[in-house]
Amino acid sequence: MTVHIGAEKGDIAPTVLMPGDPYRAKWAAETFLDDARCINEVRGMLGFTGTWKGNPVTIQGSGMGMPSLSIYANELIKDYDAQTLIRIGSCGGMQSHVKIRDVILAMTASTLSTPSRGIFRELNFAPCADYGLLAAAHDAAKEKGVPTHVGGIYSSDVFYDERPDLNEQMVRHGILGVEMEAAELYNLAARYGRRALAVLTVSDHLITHEALPSEDREKTFGDMVEIALAAAFR
């Protein structure tokens, strides 16, 4: 057990899916995994381990924001030897051709600041996804017929943003969407030699101001989970 994860050694699978919402972790485990069992309840950050097509999988909530994700990803990697970590979550669209319900595969993640900033100091390190996972996820999405975009995203360290000028520059430079966790996940994967990817569902849009109705979210998020699982074991 660690400070934030109450699982025993062997309870965590080498492949971990990481939604921000612990209750989304519960839903995904109950929906997609066989024989899923709860392996973490510390601070209400639920985690579950089961199998998908015979492959062991853990689905562990990460909380909101890069500091929270950093805690769980560090412990999953250093204490439980997780090898593949895939963020599954929602994002806001930032390009007119990116539509509500589309999936974004984050090739890179730009950010103002991450918990790793103290290590990099003056260096603008460019964190990116594992190419094998990225290519596999793209193939899986294509086979499912899910509209999918591959490119850069913006990992913001605030939810209630008061920098419209910065958002304008993100749009200008082709950033597909904004979320709050992927950049630090990619930093940690690079540091420890692990595979990482962010598979994101566009749930709202910064340009059109559309938002995905709550009753439609389960099916749409289900596509994202299936793409992530298929990519992990392709």
175 assigned ligand-binding residue: no
**Residue 225 within a domain:** yes
**Residue 158 within a domain:** yes
pLDDT of residue 219: 67
For residue 222, what are the domain limits? 15-232
Q: Is 135 exposed, middle or buried (0-12, 13-18, 19+ CB in 10 A)?
A: middle
**pLDDT tens string 90-122:** 999 999 999 999 999 999 999 998 999 889 988
Considering its fold, how many domains does the chain have in total?
1
In the set 102, 204, 216, 223, the catalytic residue is 204
**Residue 117 within a domain:** yes
pLDDT of residue 151: 98
**Residue 166 within a domain:** yes
Whether the CB-CB separation of 20 and 62 falls below 8 Å is answered with yes
Asked whether residue 218 carries a pLDDT value surpassing 80, the answer given is: no
Dist CA 41 CA 47 (whole Å): 7
**Residue 79 within a domain:** yes
CB atoms near residue 96 (< 10 Å): 10
The CATH number linked to 205 is 3.40.50.1580
Dist CA 141 CA 132 (whole Å): 14
**Residue 1 within a domain:** no
223 is catalytic: no
Residue 55 main-chain phi, psi, to 5 deg: -95, 130
**Residue 6 within a domain:** no
Most confidently predicted of 82-86, 156-160, 217-221: 82-86
90 assigned ligand-binding residue: yes
pLDDT of residue 119: 92
**Residues 151-185 as b or e (16 or more Cβ within 10 Å = b):** ebbbbbbeeeeeeeeebeebbeeebbbbbbbbbbb
**pLDDT tens string 142-155:** 999 999 999 999 99
pLDDT of residue 225: 97
Nearest in space to 185 (alpha carbons), one of 200, 168, 167, 207: 200
Averaged pLDDT for residues 195-222:
89
**Residue 10 within a domain:** no
227 assigned ligand-binding residue: no
**pLDDT tens string 8-63:** 989 999 999 999 999 999 999 999 999 999 999 999 999 999 999 999 999 999 99
pLDDT category, 217, cuts 50, 70, 90?
confident
